[in-house]
Structure 1
Amino acid sequence: MPTRILPAVGDADAARSLTTLLSRLPDAEPVQPVTDSTQLVDTLAHLAAESVDELPEVVVVHERIGPVPALELIREVALRFPAVGVILVTSDAGPGLFSAAMDSGARGLVALPLGYEELASRVQAVAQWSTGVRRHLGHGGDASGGAGGRVVTVSGAKGGVGATLAAVQLALAAQASGHAAALVDMDLQSGDVASFLDVQFRRSVADLAAITDISPRVLADAVFRHDTGVALLLAPGEGERGEEVTDRAARHIVGALRSRYDVVVLDCGAQLGAASAAAVETADTALLLTTPDVVAVRAAKRTVRMWERLRIRKAQETTVVVNRLTRSAEIQPSLVQRITGTALAATAIPAAYKELQGAVDSGRIHDLDNRSTVKQALWSLAGELGLVKTPEGEPARGSGGRLRGDRGAVSFRRRGRTGG
C-alpha cells in the first residue's frame, strides 16, 4: 500500500523541491502540499472526521511553515492526531533542535539541503511506525482521541451574554457524568469563573505562561480542585498579568490539559486576545454564545467574520448557541444561523434569570437546582456536544438536543436538518 505523505511548506520553491523528491521515493504518494499551519490542522481534522485510515501516514513539516512555528505545529499535530508520523525538515540538524523536535512529538528530522537517501530512510521508518500505531488503534478508531481529551471553547458575542455560566455548567455536566473535566478561565483580564464558584486561589493560568515543559506535577500545582471534582485553572487576579499569556503559551497550556483531562472547557470571554485566539483555533469545538437581540446577533456576525479574516476559525466550524431565548422572540435560532453562516446548536437556553439570581449572587452556581430549566438546557447541550457519557460509557445525545428526562431544554430545528 502506498505511503501517503502530506508536505507542509510555506515557501513555494521549497514546496516544489520537496514534492519532487518525495515523488521519487518508492511506494510514496505525495498529496497536494499545504502552505500554512492552519491549513494543515484543518486538513487533518477533516480527514480524521472520516476515519483514522483517511489520514496520511507521514506529514513533512518544513522549518519555514507559518504562522505557527514549526515545533509548536508539530506538538499540536502529535497531540491531536497520534496516528500521524511527523518529520521536520530543517537547516539546523544539531542535537539541540533534534532533542526539541523529539520532545514536541516529531518522529524524525531531515537536514537541508535534502538528500534522497536520508529522506527515503526517514520516511520509510516513520511510515512503518504510523502503520503500527493504526494497527494498535484498530480500523475506524478515533484519530484525535488517542493522545488526549476533548477541548471546547466558549466565547461570547459580546459581554454579558452568558458565556461564563455556559462554560461552568458544561464542565460540571462532563465531570458529573464520569469524565475528568478541567475548566479554564481564558478571559484573562476580566474572568469571573472564580466568582461564579466562590473560590480563593493563589495560582493562575499566568503562572504557566513562562514554562515550556508543563509536566503533570507542574500542572497539578497550578490547578485548583473544586468540591465538584472539576479542575480549575483560573484567570490571574491582576488583570495586567494576562499579557504574559501569549498565543504560544496558550497552546502549551491547552496541550498539557488535553493530555491529562477527558474534557477541557475554556471560557474565552468576549474580547479577542492572542491567548483566546490560539485556544479557539486549536479547539475541537468552538461555541459562540449570543442572545436573540439585534445588538448581540450583529456582534456574533462580526466575531465570526473576524475569526475568518484572521484565519482563526471558519464560520462553518463555529457553533452558535442562543441564550435567553423565548418563544415570542422575533429573532429565532434559525435566523441567527442564517445571519452568521455558522452551525447551530439544536439546544437553545431559555430566558429564566430568576432561577439563576440566588446562585449567581452567592457565588455557588454549582449548587443550581436540578429543576432549573437553564441548567437542564445547558446539561442537554453538553450531551449534544458529546461531553456527557452514559453509564455504558457512550456519549449521551438527547433527541432533538434534549437529554431524556430534561423537561426544561428548549430545542428548535429547521425541518429536515439537525443543528450543531
Structure 2
Amino acid sequence: MTTRILPVVGETDAARSITTLLSQLPDAEPAGPVGDSTTLIDTLARLAAESIDELPEVVLVHERIGPVPALELIREVALRFPAVGVVLVTTDPSPGLFSAAMDSGARGLVSMPLSYEELAQRVQAAAAWSVGVRRHLGQGADVFTGPGGTVITVSGAKGGVGTTLTAVQLALAAKASGMNTALADLDLQSGDIASYLDVQFRRSIVDLASIQDISPRVLQDAVFIHPTGLGLLLAPGEGERGEEINERSVRQIVSALRNRYDVVVVDCGTQMNSANAAAIEMADTTVLLTTPDVVSVRAAKRMVRLWDRLQIRKAEETVTVVNRHTRSTEIQPPLIERITGTRVAKVTIPANFKELQASVDAGRMQDLEAKSTVKQAMWGLAGELGLVKIPEPTEKKQGKFKGEADRGSIRVRRGRSK
C-alpha cells in the first residue's frame, strides 16, 4: 500500500532534511512541504471536499510551524480530519511533550536530527491507524467530516454600540436564507444572546470547556436549537464561570462549530481576553462595530491597534460597521476608515431605536418586523459579508429572490444606489 505523506514545515533546512528522508521510505509518496498552518488546513479542506480518500494518510508537523502553534494545529487537524494520522517532529522528545502531543491527537512523535528507522516506524504506525479509521468512517462513525463553514466574529469598540443585536440579526439572516447557522456567545461575563432571543437553557459554552475531544454528539448536547432553527451556544448564567473558558477550549469549540455549521457567528462582546482573542484569530471575517461619535471611534482605533499588537488580526483584515448612522453627523464612514485603517462596510445601520424598542423589551429580536429599516440594513450587511445564500433564479421569475433576507438586502442596495 502506498502511503501519502504531507510534511508541514516552514524552515528551509528542516524541510530539506525531512523530504530527503521521506523519499527513501518504502511505498511512500511524499508531497511537497507546506509552509504554514493556514495552507495546511486549506489544503486538507479542499481534498476532504472531494473525498475522504483524497486525504493523505500521514501529516508530519514540525514544531516551529506557525502562525497556529504546532499542538493547536494538531488538535484542529485531529478534530476536523480524523482520518489523517498526525506525527509531530521536534528537537525536544521529552515525556511532557510526548504526553501533550498525544492529548492533542498526534499519533506519534519523532525527534530531530531524524533517524530513518524512527521515522519509518512512526509513519507506518500512523498510516496503519489512518487506514483503520477510514474503514470505520465508511460505517458512519460519529465524527466531523467536510471542509467546514464560515466563522465570523462580531466585536464592539466599546459597550452599548449594538454588538449583540448585530450578531443576532446576522445569524437570523443567514439562517433565513437557508444556511445551517450557529450563534455563539463569547461575551462570557455578560452575554445577552439568551435575553435577546427569549431563551432559557441550562447548558452553556462552559460545559464544553474541559472536554478534550468534542464529538458531534457532545456538541449537540450543549447547543440549544432555537425555534428559528439557529443553534445557540450560550454564555454561562454565572459570569464568574467564564474564567473556565481559555484559549485552548475556544479553539476546539470554534473548530467543532465550524465543522457542524455552514455559518458560525460569534459575539465577542467588547472586552478582550485570551478566549475571544483566539476566536478572532480563527475567524474568516472579523467585524468591529462602532457608532459615529468621537469616543466610539477612538475606542475602535484602540481595539484595532490592540489586535495588531497581539498579532491576532491586522487592521486591513477587519471590517468596521457603523451603527446608528445619520447623514447629519460630522463623523462619516470615510473618516472612520481613515482613522482606524480598517475597511468600513458599505452598508451602514441607521439610528432608529423606536423600531427596535418593542422587540428588545419583549426579548424577541426574531420578531422584528421585516419593514424595519434597521433590520433591512443588518440583513443587507449579512449579504455584503457573504453570510446569505442567494437562491438560483427560476425560469418563471428571473432575477427574483426568495426569503425575507434577500428582500431586505435588495431594499438596502436600492436605497444606496439612489
- d(CA) in 1 for partners of 2:166, 2:408: 20
Question: For 1:385-396, what aligned pairs fall within 5 Å after superposition?
Answer: 385-392=385-392
For the Cα contact (< 8 Å) 1:374–1:408, is it kept in 2? no
- AA aligned opposite 2:240: E
Deviations 1:117-150 (A, max 9, x none): 6657949x98xx9xxx9xxxxxxxxxxx943221
Secondary structure in 2 aligned to 1:348? coil
For the Cα contact (< 8 Å) 1:376–1:406, is it kept in 2? yes
Aligned counterpart, 1:372: 372
CA, structure 1 residues 204+304, in 2 after alignment: closer, same or farther (shift >3 Å)?
same
Aligned counterpart, 1:74: 74
Deviations 1:355-390 (A, max 9, x none): 111111110111000001111111111112221113
Q: Percent identity?
A: 60
Secondary structure in 1 aligned to 2:9? strand
**Is 1:111 aligned to 2:127, yes or no?**
no
Secondary structure in 1 aligned to 2:210? coil
Deviations 1:284-338 (A, max 9, x none): 1111111111111111111111111111112222111111111222222122122
- d(CA) in 2 for partners of 1:216, 1:81: 13
Aligned counterpart, 2:184: 184
Secondary structure in 2 aligned to 1:409? helix
For the Cα contact (< 8 Å) 1:349–1:410, is it kept in 2? no
- AA aligned opposite 1:7: V
| 1:244 CA drift (Å) | 0.3
- AA aligned opposite 1:291: T
- TM normalised by structure 1 equals 0.75
Question: What is the aligned length?
Answer: 374
CA, structure 1 residues 80+328, in 2 after alignment: closer, same or farther (shift >3 Å)?
farther
- AA aligned opposite 2:110: A
- AA aligned opposite 1:111: V
| 1:100 CA drift (Å) | 6.3
Unaligned runs of 5+ in 2: 24-28, 49-54, 135-144, 394-398
For the Cα contact (< 8 Å) 2:323–2:350, is it kept in 1? yes
Question: For 1:390-405, what aligned pairs fall within 5 Å after superposition?
Answer: 390-392=390-392
CA, structure 1 residues 293+386, in 2 after alignment: closer, same or farther (shift >3 Å)?
same
Deviations 1:181-203 (A, max 9, x none): 11111000011111111211211
| 1:99 CA drift (Å) | 11
Aligned counterpart, 2:19: 22
Deviations 1:240-272 (A, max 9, x none): 000000111111111111121111111000000
For the Cα contact (< 8 Å) 2:80–2:256, is it kept in 1? no
| 1:45 CA drift (Å) | 7.6
Question: For 1:350-365, what aligned pairs fall within 5 Å after superposition?
Answer: 350-365=350-365
CA, structure 1 residues 239+320, in 2 after alignment: closer, same or farther (shift >3 Å)?
same
CA, structure 1 residues 68+47, in 2 after alignment: closer, same or farther (shift >3 Å)?
closer
CA, structure 1 residues 84+249, in 2 after alignment: closer, same or farther (shift >3 Å)?
same
Query: Which one is further off, 242-251 or 343-352?
Result: 343-352
| 1:92 CA drift (Å) | 4.8
Structure whose CA Rg is larger: 2
- d(CA) in 1 for partners of 2:40, 2:316: 16
CA RMSD of aligned residues (A): 4.0
Secondary structure in 2 aligned to 1:276? helix
- d(CA) in 2 for partners of 1:159, 1:286: 17
Aligned counterpart, 2:201: 201
- TM normalised by structure 2 equals 0.76
**Is 1:249 aligned to 2:249, yes or no?**
yes
- AA aligned opposite 2:349: I
Aligned counterpart, 2:52: none
